[in-house]
Amino acid sequence: MDVFQKQRRVWRSDLPTTEKVVVQVLLHVMGADPSCYPSQQTIARLSGLTRQHANKVLGALRDRGVIIVGDSPKDGRYPTRSYSINWESPILGVGDDDTSAGLGVIVDDDQMSSSTTQQEQGDKIKKNTQEACVGGDSPEAAPQPRTPAHFLNHPTWDEINRIHRETKPAAPTLRLTEDRRDMLDDLVAAHGEEDVLTGWRWMLTSPHARAAYLREKGHSVDTFLRYGTGYIEAAADPTMWVAVVDGGHEPTPTMDVPDIEKTRQLLEKRRRQGIGGAVN
């Protein structure tokens, strides 16, 4: 089946409208691949649902046997689960047009004829998708799609790039992808921008054995975004900013006074909030 035949089978199925929309989102992300690895936040944004609502719909589709949810790859290429569509599911049926030779097949029996062009069919399906996103059973209105300018305009990511260039002037600019943006948004929501950037600076500059090991093994921004909570907590500990020599701590020669003072201020703030202990 080509992509249009798959879309027609979904729209003509007996699935609730919101579930049809989520399946169409998975089809969009898959492209020509048999499975895809979007984050739950990406699925929610593209379908116009809240993250909680999208998770509920994914669970319903899995229980119906319409989608197959797998674990993330063990090689670490994707930090998210895999999603594939079970075209053998009875609820998706077998469309009359699945064996049609071309794209000049009926998309809507009441409004389109078999002579409809491929472009017209594409416009029709796109319109149906937009209407379903806005008119589904979601309690919230569908958000406007991100334009390329909005997609790239991420102040926290700009700061991450600035710190990266400070430590590695010859390194290329880090590219912001959808998955990176989603993971960064989750980190900022959990810890705040200041703590996230302090954790990133710790990973790139601290002479502590743990940070040095990460740099030696070539770990960079993707590792930080996936496991950032641990690095942010490490950055809040002053002993994690110094190199260990003969069982003792030696102040790092690469960490300048403003950075040390900034770390102490961060710890003081956390102490006042009841998060950390006293500042030495």
pLDDT tens digits, 56-102: 999 999 999 999 998 766 555 556 788 999 999 898 875 444 443 33
Query: What pLDDT score does 39 carry?
Result: 86
More confident of the two residues 101 and 266:
266
CB contact at 8 A, 36 and 83 = yes
Task: Kindly list the structural domains of the chain, giving each domain's residue range(s) and its CATH number in brackets, ordered by start.
Answer: 3-135 (1.10.10.10), 148-272 (no CATH)
Mean pLDDT of 115-140: 49
Query: What pLDDT score does 266 carry?
Result: 67
> Is pLDDT at 146 greater than 70 in this prediction?
no
With pLDDT > 70 as the criterion, what percentage of the chain qualifies? 62
User: Angle, nearest 10°, between helix axes 40-47 and 17-30?
Assistant: 120
The 8 Å CB, 24+ separation contacts for 57-66 are: 57/18, 57/19, 57/22, 58/22, 58/83, 60/19, 61/15, 61/19, 61/22, 61/23, 64/15, 64/19, 64/89, 64/91, 65/89, 65/91, 66/15, 66/19, 66/23, 66/91, 66/92
Mean pLDDT of 225-237: 89
Query: What pLDDT score does 196 carry?
Result: 92
The structure's pTM equals 0.41
CA atoms within 13 A on the CB side of 91: 18
Region of poorest pLDDT, from 115-119, 163-167, 269-273: 115-119
